[in-house]
Amino acid sequence: SGDVVNRIRNVGHGNGEYVSAGAMTLGDSLLFLMDFDTKSILAYDATLNYMSSFRYGFPAMDFIKVKDGFLFLNLLATEKLHRIVHTNNLGEVQQSYLPSKMSLDMIYNETSFVRDKNGEVYIFPPFSNEIYRWTSGGPKPAFRTDFGRNTAKDNVKSSYDITESERAFNTGFFIVDHHIINNFYHLGKTYYSFYNMKDGRQDQGYADTTEVIPFVPRWQSSNGLIGYILTNDYDKWKPQKDSCDAALFVFHLK
């Protein structure tokens, strides 16, 4: 309904406080919040009461709770600590996967992990054409995108080189029911592709978000896609209440 249950803004360096709140994930009936600056994860209950925290020792942008700990997207992949890092519930590194020599000086996708309605976790590293499924043995290739002659070259040293190449590159993905939805960027436009895994049908195009309810999926929750916008950024579309500064959407595929 959008009714406020609780609101927190505990900015600082003390116990239960954060400096730059970023990614969030759910697991074990808790909400976990990533603090970029202090490299900390804070845990809250369902009504945002602070429970506990721990630190991790590398620069990360996104994370997700798995059965035996967490998966992190490591921003600074090295030979010793690869792009995807698996930690236990205390943030201690257990293993790392998917080595990469590409520096992430530009990033378009906010999320690199999604959980489908069955609880399966999928991994999408930035600027990748591969989607992996998380297993007890690590990430396993699940899907691959192919843009033909517009596919970015392999072994690119910098993500900036990809964005300036005029090639297509993925900026995010979702797995909803029997559909794979990926959004990609090409020549100044953001496109969406819907692939039906049952019948092989694929539809793609870009959404005109200026006159209708904006299609802006940013996160996934079970079979729902969650979108969020600042309404002041849209001149032609406004929510029902003129006093709203922001709007939250939940999209469901028909």
Q: What is the DSSP letter of 81?
A: S
Report pTM. 0.89
Q: Does residue 14 have a pLDDT over 90? A: no
Q: Output the CA torsion 143→254→200→221 (10° steps).
A: 10
pLDDT of amino acid 238:
67
The larger pLDDT score, comparing residue 2 to residue 63, is at: 63
Q: Per-residue pLDDT tens for 20-45?
A: 888 999 998 999 999 999 999 999 99
Q: Per-residue pLDDT tens for 138-164?
A: 999 999 999 999 988 877 889 988 988
Q: CB 120: neighbour CB atoms within 10 A?
A: 13
Q: Could you tell me the sign of the dihedral formed by the alpha carbons of 96, 44, 112, 66, in that order? A: positive
Placement of tokens 């849209």 in the chain: 234
Q: Per-residue pLDDT tens for 93-111?
A: 999 999 999 999 888 887 8
Of 3-7, 140-144, 241-245, which gets the smallest average pLDDT? 241-245
Residue 120: what residue type?
E
Residue 1: what residue type?
S
Residue 143 Cα distances to 67, 98, 137, 182, 238, angstroms:
23, 15, 18, 11, 37
